[in-house]
Amino acid sequence: MTANQAGAQSYERSEPHDANAAQRNQIAQTRADLGNTLTELAARTDVKARTRQAVSQARDRAKNQLRERAQSATTRTRQAVAQARHRAKNELQERAQFATMRTQEAASSGASSARDLRERAGRTPASIPVGGAVAALAALGIYAVLRRRSRSHRTAPSRWTPRTRARAQEWRR
């Protein structure tokens, strides 16, 4: 506590009717107010400190905006990946069902041609084994083509092109 403050407190305790004490109290109060005003003015005129504070606030705002945008982009990317996986899974299931149906159709057509051959057996006995072999080979060829189409993505990794390897790595992620 300084001497002025001690004096100001001692004057406050004195009789209020004392004219000198009232003036001293008013002077002490005015000095304290003037000191506060000078401190505020000095802070306002300190351009470097105000500039640093403004730069700091702008940097914090930019960091927060960048963080929010990154989180938003991450969320959108994750949603897009989940949707793409779902679509790919559905498309793969549809292709498998289609291939199964085509294989069954090919097998049933081969069976119907075998029935036709049996019916003709009485007429041309030598053509039965030849016709059966042709029907079996046709059904086997259709089955092989459909199987190859449905499993074309399962080729040996040693035969993959660099682009195929990159796609496989992306798919595994």
- SS3 category, 41: helix
Residue 138 included in any domain: yes
Residue carrying structure tokens 């003036």:
23
Residue 136 included in any domain: yes
| The predicted structure's pLDDT at residue 115 | 66
| The predicted structure's pLDDT at residue 169 | 79
For 23-29, the CB contacts below 8 A with 24+ separation are 28/4
Residue 150 included in any domain: yes
Residue 111 included in any domain: yes
Rounded average pLDDT per 10-residue block, the chain, 173 residues:
51 61 90 90 82 92 93 90 88 85 76 66 63 83 77 61 81 72
For the chain, state the CA radius of gyration: 47
Residue 17 included in any domain: no
| The predicted structure's pLDDT at residue 65 | 94
| Gap between the Cα atoms of 158 and 93, Å rounded | 26
| Gap between the Cα atoms of 90 and 100, Å rounded | 15
Q: Give the end-to-end CA distance of the chain in Å, rounded to a whole number.
A: 70
CA dihedral 28, 29, 30, 36 (to 10 degrees): 110
Domain hosting 108: range is 46-172
Residue carrying structure tokens 């992306």:
170
The total domain count for the chain is: 1
Are 95 and 150 in contact by the 8 Å Cβ rule? The answer is: yes
| The predicted structure's pLDDT at residue 1 | 46
Residue 2 included in any domain: no
Residue 31 included in any domain: no
| The predicted structure's pLDDT at residue 63 | 93
Residue 16 included in any domain: no
